[in-house]
Chain A
Amino acid sequence: MSLSIVKRKPLPGWVKLLIPLGAILVALLFSAIPIVIARGALFKSYYYLFYGALGTRYNLLETFVKASPLILTGLSVSFAFRARFWNIGAEGQLLAGATVAAWIGIYFVGIPSFLLLPLTIIGGFVAGGFWAFVPAALKTKLKVDDVVSTLLLNYVMIHIMGTLLFGPMQQPGSSWPRSPAILDAAQYPVLIPRSRFHLGIPLALLAVLIIWFINDRTVFGYRSKAVGVNIRAANFGGINTNSVIICTALISGGLAGLAGVGEVCAIQYKLIMDISPGYGYTGIVIAMLGNLHPLGAMFSAFFLSIINVGAQTMSRMTGVPVYIVGVIEAVSLIIMLIFLLFTEYRLRWERK
């Protein structure tokens, strides 16, 4: 007997919607293994995982707060991957956005206060976009592999931040790598009292709609999809593939930059080295779980936000380390990949 993988007949479309749900479910089941190893009571652990994220008003709103950067990095990665621009650099682009947002928010004292926040947001978008433009230009002009360059640029950005936070942007009198606080006018307004539910959340949801619109309705969305599917054929068909890749990168990086703006203007109110706990990398998981669709990214961002917020409570109540989150994320990504494969292929036993 031997097992082989063969093509299957196309499945109906609704199956595709069930796949991420199935993947998440299976991933949660798999995470029972580390939970048991960590001597956590299973039922209790899962209960607190979800109770911690959804059980109280404050926690529920915190889940939204946490979802906002995740939606943006997820969108950023899905938009880039859709055009096969392998942007693994959302983390660096987020940091670039955060750095410039902080710079504007701290030092642009003289300008009218109603202009400050829009300027901060635009500045963060442009900074993130620029940090993605660099690898896109390297790819299109000099054929440098985008995976490697985006990854390396993440580290370059971290050290740029470090240089600034130990240097010109350091809070006077402090020996820690952190900036002074941003001006009040540069803060995202809190929309729901007694919570941190801020302007960045509706902005992230708006971004979902805009990207959805670009993908499905516009010439650019069509072109970037064509480039992603087969760059050779897209070029043959008269599409300027280089400019599509560069524009894709600008938008993708800009979205990640917005995530950085949110962290500075709504959470920390200053720039610190640990401004992002790896939101950019989580964006990859979100994009894949969402099947590169903006709505998918939104839902999977909420899922990962639930896990992230809930894990804090779970850890407190059961002693299971919070790092279980990373394991669940990665496992759901892997399971999702496997599930997607079996929408096109099936296993076959062969007699020998």
Chain B
Amino acid sequence: MISDIFNLAFLTGLIGATLRMATPIIFATLGEIISERSGVLNLGIEGTMLMGAMTGFLVTLITGSQWLGVFTAAIAGILLGLLMAFLAVYLGLSQHVSGLGITLFATGLSMFIYRLKVGSPTVPPTVDPFKKVVIPVLSDIPVIGSSIFSSYLLTYIAIILIPLVSLLLYKTKVGLKIRTVGANPFAADTVGVNVNLLRTLCLMTGGALMAIGGSFLTLAHQNMFLIDVVGGRGWIAIAMTIFGNWDPVKGAAGALIFGVLDGFQLRLQALGFRIPFHIFLMIPYLITIVALVSVSRKATVPASLLKPYRREEKGS
């Protein structure tokens, strides 16, 4: 039994499945980290991902181009980020409630648009999903080569984005501004940084990443749109943001761990293990909660997270 599990083919399959399951979460986690580093918790993430999944799917269904689908999904994510910015940044409404509002809104709208365009056929329509891209030479490396270097292009992009976002936050001018706006917006304002504009840009960028992550679900992970296609991955990304202590590399590492668990579950199912699959589906969420327990005490939250910034609060 055990030897059946841990043979090479299983390992190869596991690594492949891990990357596939982790890709949307990496996108979403990076998007959430950028937003939260600027001081805005975006609970619109789950809805934004669903919107991205729906938009990507529908555009691909209509035009036949997956990349056009991804692009449109990103635009939809940017628009939702903008809406979040309007509510939580410019109006300064509760970030919790605005974000949940966005998720409800995006969920309702996604379902509405999908139903409007597709109707309710007995068999849901499908699209041609992305093809895996095999990188020559590298993919010939035994075990890891055929699994890592034969993935979807979006997966490669997600992995390249991890160091890029890290570089953005820690080494660039705008990154320093983002971190300062999230920690002490007053300090940023007094040196001439437009706090609300920067937060808006972060929410838009974050929204785009979340939506791209969502589109991966309907254009690569699966090839159809189902109501529960996101299934809480947005909330997992929020957990990973905390787990990674608001650091892109650690957050993405968390997403990969989640991917391993999810991939493991898939592989075991594929091998026909007669264990109720709902138990497997539950494990990643449980592990995420346990992970949160282990890091929450020493988490260093961006100091101004959840706090809207307004001038002229008082006189004197």
Contacts and interface: CB of A to CB of B under 8 A. Distances in A.
B239 A148 contact: yes
Contacts of B281: 159, 162
A167 B112 contact: no
Contacts of A149: 289, 292
A149 B290 CA distance: 10
Contacts of B299: 143
A303 to B, nearest CB: 15
Given A145-B296, A326-B107, A337 B98 contact: yes
B101 A321 contact: no
Q: Looking at B279, B285, B311, which has the most chain A CB atoms within 10 Å of its CB?
A: B285
A190 interface: no
A166 B278 contact: yes
Interface in A232-280: none
Contacts of A181: none
A290 to B, nearest CB: 13
B94 A156 contact: no
A11 interface: no
Interface string A137-175: 010001111011101111110011111001100000000
A61 interface: no
User: Is chain B's interface secondary structure helix, strand, loop, or mixed overall?
Assistant: helix
A72 to B, nearest CB: 19
Contact of A166 (B87, B231, B276, B311): B276
Contact of A147 (B90, B93, B96, B106): B96
A37 interface: yes
B250 to A, nearest CB: 16
**What size tier do the contact residues of chain A reach?**
35 or more
A334 B235 contact: no
A338 B91 contact: yes
**Residue from A142, A148, A166, A331 having most chain B Cβ neighbours under 10 A:** A148
A222 interface: no
B282 A156 contact: yes
Contacts of A37: 116
A155 B231 contact: yes
A89 to B, nearest CB: 11
| Most central of B98, B235, B286 by chain A CB within 10 Å | B235
A163 B282 CA distance: 9
Interface residues of B, number: 48
A329 B108 contact: yes
B172 to A, nearest CB: 29
B92 A330 contact: no
Max count, chain B CB within 10 A of own CB: residue among A6, A38, A156: A156
B202 to A, nearest CB: 20
Nearest to B41: A147
B11 interface: no
B274 to A, nearest CB: 11
Given A143-B296, A145-B292, A152-B289, A321 B116 contact: yes
B249 to A, nearest CB: 20
The main secondary structure of chain A at its interface with chain B is helix
A109 interface: no
Contacts of B98: 334, 337
Given A5-B92, A333-B101, A337-B98, A162 B115 contact: no
B312 A326 contact: no
Contact of A341 (B93, B101, B115, B116): B93
A284 interface: yes
A142 B87 contact: no
Contact of B108 (A147, A163, A288, A330): A330
A5 B90 CA distance: 9
B279 A281 contact: no
B100 A284 contact: yes
B278 A159 contact: yes
A207 B115 CA distance: 37
Interface in A200-216: none
B258 to A, nearest CB: 12
B101 A152 contact: no
A302 interface: no
A159 B279 contact: yes
Nearest to A149: B289
Nearest to B94: A337
Contact of B112 (A163, A281, A323): A323
A152 B100 contact: no
B209 interface: no
B156 interface: no
B289 A327 contact: no
A122 interface: no
A151 B101 contact: no
B292 A34 contact: no
Nearest 10 pairs between A and B by C-beta? A326-B108, A162-B278, A330-B105, A159-B282, A330-B104, A321-B115, A323-B111, A323-B112, A327-B108, A163-B278
Interface of A: 4-7, 34, 37-38, 86, 88, 138, 142-145, 147-149, 151-156, 159-163, 166-167, 281, 284-285, 288, 321, 323-331, 333-334, 337-338, 341
Given A281-B104, A323-B108, A331-B105, 5 more contacts: A156-B285, A156-B286, A321-B112, A330-B104, A337-B97
27 contacts: A38-B116, A142-B297, A143-B299, A147-B96, A148-B292, A149-B292, A151-B235, A152-B239, A152-B288, A155-B231, A155-B285, A159-B278, A162-B276, A166-B278, A285-B104, A321-B111, A321-B115, A321-B116, A323-B108, A323-B111, A326-B107, A326-B109, A329-B104, A330-B106, A331-B105, A333-B101, A337-B101
Interface of B: 43, 87, 90-94, 96-98, 100-102, 104-109, 111-112, 115-116, 231-232, 235-236, 238-239, 242, 276, 278-279, 281-282, 285-286, 288-289, 292-293, 296-297, 299, 310-313
